[in-house]
């Protein structure tokens, strides 16, 4: 593929994303269901321009403190999660449609174990896997029961967060072989180099895919396939339009209409813009700051 074609692809993808960002803004500004954004922005939503960089930022506290029912732009078939983050506990609604738009990594496996510190996250990823015609084994509260079930299922992949992966590394040996795992999708808001190397050592056949994600925002960043683990350049996921705030935090807009849409959401994940040349056609490249 030539450089021109690359650029053309990049522009097309970026244009598509821009178009969908404008669609989301229109949804927000014309909705009669909720006044969440006008209230957060403190102005008439119709006055907000489509220039997302100049939109008043939305943050986790805005979501956590705004009444749940009043921030719902959709009401049908909601799967409601309990999210615990930074001493805040709040509800987040998802639909099967927006979950299906998620990108929780490649699915070249057949028998995934989904294990997150919060079962709500496991259930959400479970729904995503059903959409891919895969049967997910959802972790139970009891680790021994989970690992026993995993050994009976003969798992070949893990979808997990840092905490649960750490737990598996400590306990798994008694239940299934290290070589049976071919894919680990590590879905979290930060990645620890030591955990990575420990995981690589422990599961030598596994392809480890870090997915940058937050419970309230879903998957927001994925590792560039042409990046090295050491280099670790991320792009926004396909359903996310991302920018970087003046404070160097990742700001995301979900392109699917979520029950509480995310428009210009400051993830508070500290990032650094990267000038990275690849064929991924993403609007942004960044790396995580420690």
Partner 1 sequence: MKTIHKTHYLTKEDLQQGLHGIERYRAHTQGPPLFFRMTSGTSRGVMTMLVVGHPDKKQYEHYENLFDGPLVIVHPKHCTVMQWIHHFVEHTEGESRIMFLDRKTRESHALSHIFETFGPRNIYGFPALLDALLNQLTRAHVQLGAGIRKIHLTGERISKALLKKFESWAPQSSIAVVYATAEARVIATPCPHLEKRYPDLRFQIFHPVDSTCIEIVTPDEHGMGEIAVSTPELPHYLTGDAGTLTEELCSCGARFTLCVHGRINFDVISCVGALFLLSEVELVFSLLGMYVSDYYVEVKEVYDTRKTYGTVTFYIVPTDALRALKDGDTFVLTYIARHLQVTKTRTLEDLIAADIFLHPEVAFVFSLPISGKKVRMKKIEV
Of residues 59 through 88, those in contact with partner 1 by CB under 8 A are: 67-69, 75-82, 84
Of residues 101 through 130, those in contact with partner 1 by CB under 8 A are: 107, 109-111, 118-120, 122-123, 126-127, 130
Contacting residue, 148, 169, 182, 195, with partner 1 by CB under 8 A: 148
| Complex with partner 1: residue 118 or 245, whichever CB lies closer | 118
What minimum distance in Å lies between the beta carbon of 281 and partner 1? Answer: 25
Q: How many residues bind partner 1 (CB under 8 A)?
A: 46
Query: In sequence order, what are the residues at sequence separation of 6 or more whose Cβ sits closer than 8 angstroms to the Cβ of residue 46?
Result: 29
What minimum distance in Å lies between the beta carbon of 175 and partner 1? Answer: 12
The count of other CB atoms within 10 Å of the CB of residue 72 is: 18
Contacting residue, 21, 28, 58, 139, with partner 1 by CB under 8 A: 139
H or E segment to which residue 110 belongs: none
| Complex with partner 1: residue 67 or 246, whichever CB lies closer | 67
| Complex with partner 1: residue 142 or 247, whichever CB lies closer | 142
When asked if residue 145 is in the footprint of partner 1 (CB under 8 A), the reply is yes
**DSSP 8-state class, residue 71:** G
Contacting residue, 153, 202, 245, 274, with partner 1 by CB under 8 A: 153
When asked if residue 163 is in the footprint of partner 1 (CB under 8 A), the reply is no
DSSP calls for 160-228: E-HHHHHHHHHHGGGTS-GGG--EEEEEES---HHHHHHHHHH-TTPEEEEEEEETTTEEEEEE-TTS-
Secondary structure class of 271 (helix, strand, coil): strand
Query: In sequence order, what are the residues at sequence separation of 6 or more whose Cβ sits closer than 8 angstroms to the Cβ of residue 6?
Result: 279, 281
Residue with token string 């993808």: 13
What minimum distance in Å lies between the beta carbon of 178 and partner 1? Answer: 21
| Complex with partner 1: residue 54 or 76, whichever CB lies closer | 76
From 148-156, 183-191, 214-222, 228-236, give the range in contact with partner 1 by CB under 8 A: 148-156
Query: In sequence order, what are the residues at sequence separation of 6 or more whose Cβ sits closer than 8 angstroms to the Cβ of residue 238?
Result: 101, 103
Give first-to-last CA distance, the chain, whole Å.
35
Secondary structure class of 50 (helix, strand, coil): coil
Binding site for partner 1 (CB under 8 A): 67-69, 75-82, 84, 89-91, 93, 95-96, 107, 109-111, 118-120, 122-123, 126-127, 130, 132-142, 145, 148-149, 152-153
């Amino acid at each position: 593929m030539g450089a021109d074609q690359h650029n053309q692809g990049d522009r097309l993808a970026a244009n598509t994303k821009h178009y969908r960002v404008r669609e989301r803004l229109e949804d927000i500004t014309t909705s009669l269901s909720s006044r969440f954004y006008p209230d957060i922005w403190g102005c008439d939503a119709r006055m907000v321009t489509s220039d997302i960089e100049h939109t008043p930022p939305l943050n986790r506290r805005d979501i956590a403190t705004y009444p749940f029912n009043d921030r719902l732009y959709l009401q049908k078939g909601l799967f409601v999660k309990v999210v615990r983050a930074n001493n805040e506990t709040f509800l987040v609604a998802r639909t099967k449609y927006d979950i299906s738009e998620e990108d929780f990594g490649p699915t070249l496996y057949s028998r995934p174990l989904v294990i997150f510190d919060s079962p709500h996250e496991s259930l959400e990823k479970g729904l995503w896997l059903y959409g891919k015609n895969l049967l997910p084994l959802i972790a139970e509260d009891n680790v021994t029961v989970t690992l026993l079930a995993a050994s009976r299922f003969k798992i070949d992949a893990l979808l997990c967060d840092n905490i649960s992966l750490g737990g598996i590394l400590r306990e798994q040996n008694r239940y299934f072989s290290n070589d049976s795992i071919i894919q680990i999708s590590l879905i979290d808001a930060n990645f620890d180099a030591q955990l990575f190397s420990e995981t690589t050592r422990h599961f030598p056949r596994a392809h480890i895919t870090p997915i940058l994600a937050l419970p309230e925002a879903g998957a927001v960043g994925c590792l560039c396939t042409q990046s090295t683990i050491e280099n670790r350049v991320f792009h926004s996921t396909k359903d996310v339009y991302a920018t970087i705030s003046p404070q160097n935090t990742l700001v995301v807009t979900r392109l699917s209409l979520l029950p509480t849409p995310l428009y210009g959401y400051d993830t508070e994940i500290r990032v650094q813009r990267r000038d990275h040349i690849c064929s991924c056609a993403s609007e942004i490249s960044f790396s995580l700051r420690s």
